[in-house]
């Protein structure tokens, strides 16, 4: 487990809130460096990632069930009445897919688990990429029948680039699928990671009886429960008992496991943290098989928060004064209250209720009022939060995705990735008398990053252009405008496919080019839109000095 270095401050208390807001208690207890270090070392913060449909939301539900954070597992596909905690949005429930990432916090053993379920669909990958900047590890799901799918490979590449350790779960072993050893070869060949299975299945895909725990050789036998709603009973047996019970299936599993051992595929903490190996577990999220083992592995091997790199090239130790950054904005979680929540990942120090912190972007104070611990759409107020925690900050109208917040010693964390949009549409209110609702919705969707909102004097405020990485984002915008903001809209697709950054002095000349249009994004950037590469080339030839730069992706 990475140990943070000692903070460079003189006294041994983590700076507490200098001022407190409104109803919050004014007497913040002294929280010592030791407390922060202890609390940080208990934290496990990770994302669940994969191609759509591999079972992320189902696994998230199963993890919460096994940690006893929920009593009964809901279904992501709506086959039974209850829905999963992480797919809380009505559109997610209607379609059976995740559209937005969802955070859950719960305890297991002595650990505090911060889990973020991410959407697998490529159209929502900007959200997923941002989540990956806020976690210390990732659980990569592989559908046993499909192996490593396209979007999983893309997300794997991001994790590799960022040095995020990966735990692999081969899911859906309750159904016929690929051979287990073949899957290991596939992981090694396609990712370069050495798979180091911690459990190995007894019974082929579709005949899932249990797993060998490769660390102690014992057999964990699963028993199915009705519809997978409750924790599947596990029986632990000695190898002798297992042989008697399962016969050939046991023999095959142990032989394969020995083969792996001979090829050096045993877990190694150092190479795992260095992103060279990946522990592998087998399971069935929908039947709750193998979920306890995953929770134990998360607690035992997943890293706790480490010092975090800052823009200035240094790192901020976890026990330094409070700092956090916003990786997601979300509204509409509670229809009764028109609220807007900023999801922040705490990087150092302690968050105390009512703290007034500084926003690094504006240099202005931000009164936190209070923070919420989030569980899907449910929330509870927290008094203290520590490094690794994901908290929802209320009252966040002035915050933006990527903002760093800090106390005492200033710090700024690197900007979050943004994607260049490739799809564009004009949005108009169906009922022009609802202009106020329309404007509020447009602003909100832009602030959350559901879509990017572009404007120009030519088009006017009644017809903003929405820009997206993928077209499904438009459907979400359209749906939320109607249901949440009470302003049904029409969307007309535009024939642009490329957006390049330009500067104000080029607006007129670029607008004069056939098929080219310049619009301004909320963050002030000017974007020149082109229908295709060919047009970019011809405009560049005609205006060789024009500023036309790719939108930076980090
Ligand atoms: N047979 C079987 N089906 C599963 C298992 N896990 C999930 N499923 C089913 O697979 C489908 C997709 O599950 P989800 O949990 O929504 O998948 P997801 O990865 O969250 O999908 P996105 O959020 O859209 O990326 C649902 O019908 C689940 O019931 C499993 O272990 N076995
Ligand atoms: Mg999902």
* CATH code of the domain in which 318 resides: 3.40.50.300
Band of pLDDT at residue 67, cut at 50, 70 and 90: confident
The residue among 416, 435, 451 that closes a domain is 416
Q: Is the CB of 177 under 6 A from ligand 1?
A: no
Are residues 181 and 101 part of one domain? yes
Percent of the chain scoring above 70 in pLDDT: 92
Pocket test of ligand 1: the residue of 55, 173, 224, 289 to mutate, having most ligand atoms within 8 Å of its CB, is 55
Mean of pLDDT over the chain = 89
Once rounded to an integer, what is the mean pLDDT over residues 5-22?
38
Give tens-digit pLDDT for 530-547: 999 999 999 999 999 999
Q: Rounded to an integer, what distance in angstroms lies between the CA atom of residue 511 and that of residue 529? A: 10
Q: Is the CB of 286 under 6 A from ligand 1?
A: yes
Q: Is the CB of 58 under 6 A from ligand 1?
A: yes
* Shortest-distance atom of ligand 1 to CA 54: 19
Is the pLDDT score of 22 beyond 50?
no
* Shortest-distance atom of ligand 1 to CA 118: 23
Q: Is the CB of 172 under 6 A from ligand 1?
A: yes
Q: Name the residue at shortest CA distance from atom 8 of ligand 1.
A: 55
Q: Rounded to an integer, what distance in angstroms lies between the CA atom of residue 31 and that of residue 97? A: 42
Once rounded to an integer, what is the mean pLDDT over residues 285-291?
94
Once rounded to an integer, what is the mean pLDDT over residues 130-150?
97
Distance 92 CA to ligand 1 centre (A): 13
Band of pLDDT at residue 155, cut at 50, 70 and 90: very high
- Biggest CA–CA distance in the chain, Å, is 81
Is the pLDDT score of 175 beyond 70?
yes
The residue among 249, 280, 301 that closes a domain is 301
Domain containing residue 442: CATH number: 3.30.70.3280
Q: Is the CB of 144 under 6 A from ligand 1?
A: no
* Shortest-distance atom of ligand 1 to CA 171: 31
* Shortest-distance atom of ligand 1 to CA 76: 16
Query: By the 8 A CB rule, do 329 and 399 touch?
Result: yes
Is the pLDDT score of 11 beyond 60?
no
Segment holding 517, helix H or strand E: strand 517-521
Percent of the chain scoring above 90 in pLDDT: 73
Q: Is the CB of 62 under 6 A from ligand 1?
A: no
Ligand nearest to the CA of 51: 1
Band of pLDDT at residue 260, cut at 50, 70 and 90: very high
* Shortest-distance atom of ligand 1 to CA 97: 24
Whether 360 maps to a domain, the answer reads: yes
Query: By the 8 A CB rule, do 139 and 294 touch?
Result: yes
Pocket test of ligand 1: the residue of 51, 57, 60 to mutate, having most ligand atoms within 8 Å of its CB, is 57
What local confidence, expressed as pLDDT, does residue 533 receive? 95
Are residues 430 and 407 part of one domain? no
Q: Give which of 12, 27, 5, 105 is closest to 354, Cα–Cα.
A: 27
Segment holding 128, helix H or strand E: helix 125-132
Ligand nearest to the CA of 87: 2
Whether 408 maps to a domain, the answer reads: yes
Pocket test of ligand 1: the residue of 285, 290, 294 to mutate, having most ligand atoms within 8 Å of its CB, is 285
Distance 478 CA to ligand 2 centre (A): 21
Are residues 273 and 229 part of one domain? yes
Are residues 347 and 289 part of one domain? no
Q: Name the residue at shortest CA distance from atom 12 of ligand 1.
A: 53
Strands 356-359, 365-367: pairing is antiparallel
Are residues 429 and 315 part of one domain? no
Q: Is the CB of 149 under 6 A from ligand 1?
A: no
Band of pLDDT at residue 336, cut at 50, 70 and 90: low
Q: Name the residue at shortest CA distance from atom 6 of ligand 1.
A: 55
Token output for 472: 């499904």
Once rounded to an integer, what is the mean pLDDT over residues 205-215?
95
29-38, 115-124, 436-445 — which is least confidently predicted? 29-38
Burial class of 11 by CB neighbour count within 10 A (0 to 12, 13 to 18, 19+): exposed
Token output for 206: 């579709």
Distance 117 CA to ligand 2 centre (A): 7
Are residues 471 and 396 part of one domain? no
Band of pLDDT at residue 5, cut at 50, 70 and 90: very low
Give tens-digit pLDDT for 39-59: 999 999 999 999 999 999 999
Q: Which domain holds residue 430?
A: 423-550
Whether 6 maps to a domain, the answer reads: no
Once rounded to an integer, what is the mean pLDDT over residues 349-364?
93
Whether 544 maps to a domain, the answer reads: yes
Q: Rounded to an integer, what distance in angstroms lies between the CA atom of residue 332 and that of residue 553? A: 28
Are residues 484 and 442 part of one domain? yes
Distance 237 CA to ligand 1 centre (A): 30
Is the pLDDT score of 333 beyond 90?
no
Q: Rounded to an integer, what distance in angstroms lies between the CA atom of residue 538 and that of residue 521? A: 24
Quote the number of domains for the chain. 3
The residue among 243, 266, 301 that closes a domain is 301
Distance 239 CA to ligand 2 centre (A): 37
Residue ranges in 55-122 assigned as alpha helix (H): 56-66, 90-95
Distance 97 CA to ligand 2 centre (A): 5
Band of pLDDT at residue 338, cut at 50, 70 and 90: low
Is the pLDDT score of 327 beyond 50?
yes
Are residues 315 and 430 part of one domain? no
Tell me if residue 444 falls in helix, strand or coil: helix
Is the pLDDT score of 240 beyond 50?
yes
Distance 229 CA to ligand 1 centre (A): 14
Is the pLDDT score of 15 beyond 70?
no
Are residues 399 and 339 part of one domain? yes
Ligand nearest to the CA of 285: 1
Whether 537 maps to a domain, the answer reads: yes
* Shortest-distance atom of ligand 1 to CA 120: 25
Q: Is the CB of 146 under 6 A from ligand 1?
A: no
Give tens-digit pLDDT for 446-505: 988 899 999 999 999 999 999 999 999 999 999 999 998 999 999 999 999 999 999 999
4-13, 110-119, 484-493 — which is least confidently predicted? 4-13
Q: Is the CB of 51 under 6 A from ligand 1?
A: no
Distance 59 CA to ligand 1 centre (A): 8
Q: Is the CB of 126 under 6 A from ligand 1?
A: no
Whether 510 maps to a domain, the answer reads: yes
Once rounded to an integer, what is the mean pLDDT over residues 123-135?
94
Q: Give which of 478, 507, 505 is closest to 492, Cα–Cα.
A: 478
Query: By the 8 A CB rule, do 427 and 489 touch?
Result: yes
Is the pLDDT score of 430 beyond 70?
yes
Distance 279 CA to ligand 2 centre (A): 22
Are residues 445 and 329 part of one domain? no
Is the pLDDT score of 93 beyond 90?
no
Are residues 139 and 272 part of one domain? yes
Whether 220 maps to a domain, the answer reads: yes
Are residues 110 and 245 part of one domain? yes
Q: Give which of 486, 483, 503, 489 is closest to 453, Cα–Cα.
A: 489
């Amino acid at each position: 487990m990475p140990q943070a270095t000692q903070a460079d401050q003189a006294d041994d208390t983590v700076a507490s809130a200098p001022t407190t807001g409104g109803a919050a208690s004014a007497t913040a207890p002294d929280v010592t460096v030791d407390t922060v270090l202890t609390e940080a070392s208990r934290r496990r913060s990770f994302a669940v990632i994969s191609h759509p449909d591999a079972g992320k939301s189902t696994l998230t539900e199963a993890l919460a069930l096994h940690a006893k954070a929920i009593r009964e597992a809901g279904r992501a596909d709506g086959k039974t009445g209850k829905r999963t905690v992480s797919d809380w949005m009505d559109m997610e429930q209607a379609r059976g897919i995740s559209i937005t990432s969802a955070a859950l916090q719960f305890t297991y053993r002595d650990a505090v688990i911060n889990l973020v379920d991410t959407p697998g669909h490529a159209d929502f990958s900007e959200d997923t990429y941002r989540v990956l900047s806020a976690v210390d590890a990732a659980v990569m799901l592989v559908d046993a029948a499909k192996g490593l799918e396209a979007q999983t490979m893309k997300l794997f590449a991001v994790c590799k680039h960022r040095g995020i350790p990966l735990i692999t779960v081969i899911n859906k072993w309750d159904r016929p699928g690929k051979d287990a050893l073949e899957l290991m070869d596939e992981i090694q060949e396609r990712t370069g990671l050495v798979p180091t299975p911690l459990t190995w299945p007894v019974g082929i895909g579709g005949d899932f009886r249990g797993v060998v725990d490769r660390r102690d050789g014992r057999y964990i036998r699963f028993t199915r429960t009705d519809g997978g709603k409750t924790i599947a009973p596990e029986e632990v047996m000695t190898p002798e008992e297992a042989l008697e019970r399962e016969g050939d299936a046991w023999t095959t599993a142990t032989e394969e496991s020995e083969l792996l051992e001979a090829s050096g595929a045993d877990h190694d903490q150092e190479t795992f943290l260095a992103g060279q190996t990946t522990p592998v577990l087998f399971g069935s999220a929908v039947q709750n098989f193998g979920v306890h083992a995953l929770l134990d592995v998360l607690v035992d091997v997943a890293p706790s928060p480490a010092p975090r790199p800052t823009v200035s090239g240094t790192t901020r130790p976890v026990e330094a004064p409070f700092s956090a950054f916003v990786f997601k904005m979300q509204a509409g979680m509670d229809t009764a209250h028109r609220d807007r929540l900023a999801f922040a990942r705490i990087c150092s120090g302690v968050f105390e209720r009512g703290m007034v912190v500084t926003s690094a972007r504006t240099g202005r104070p931000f009164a936190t009022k209070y923070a919420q611990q989030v569980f899907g759409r449910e929330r509870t107020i927290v008094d203290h939060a520590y490094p690794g925690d994901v908290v929802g900050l209320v009252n966040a109208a002035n915050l933006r995705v990527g903002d760093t917040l800090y106390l005492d010693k200033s710090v700024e964390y690197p900007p979050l990735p943004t994607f260049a949009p490739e799809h564009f549409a004009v949005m108009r209110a169906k009922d022009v008398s609802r202009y106020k609702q329309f404007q509020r919705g447009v602003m909100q969707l832009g602030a959350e990053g559901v879509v990017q909102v572009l404007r120009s004097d030519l088009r006017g405020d009644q017809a903003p252009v929405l820009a997206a990485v993928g077209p499904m984002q438009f459907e979400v915008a359209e749906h939320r405008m109607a249901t949440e903001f009470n302003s049904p809209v029409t969307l007309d697709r535009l024939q642009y496919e490329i957006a390049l950054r330009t500067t104000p002095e080029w607006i007129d000349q670029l607008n004069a080019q056939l098929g080219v249009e310049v619009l301004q994004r909320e963050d002030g950037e000017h974007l020149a839109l082109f229908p295709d590469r060919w047009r970019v080339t011809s405009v560049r030839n005609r205006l060789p000095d024009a500023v036309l730069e790719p939108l930076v992706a980090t």
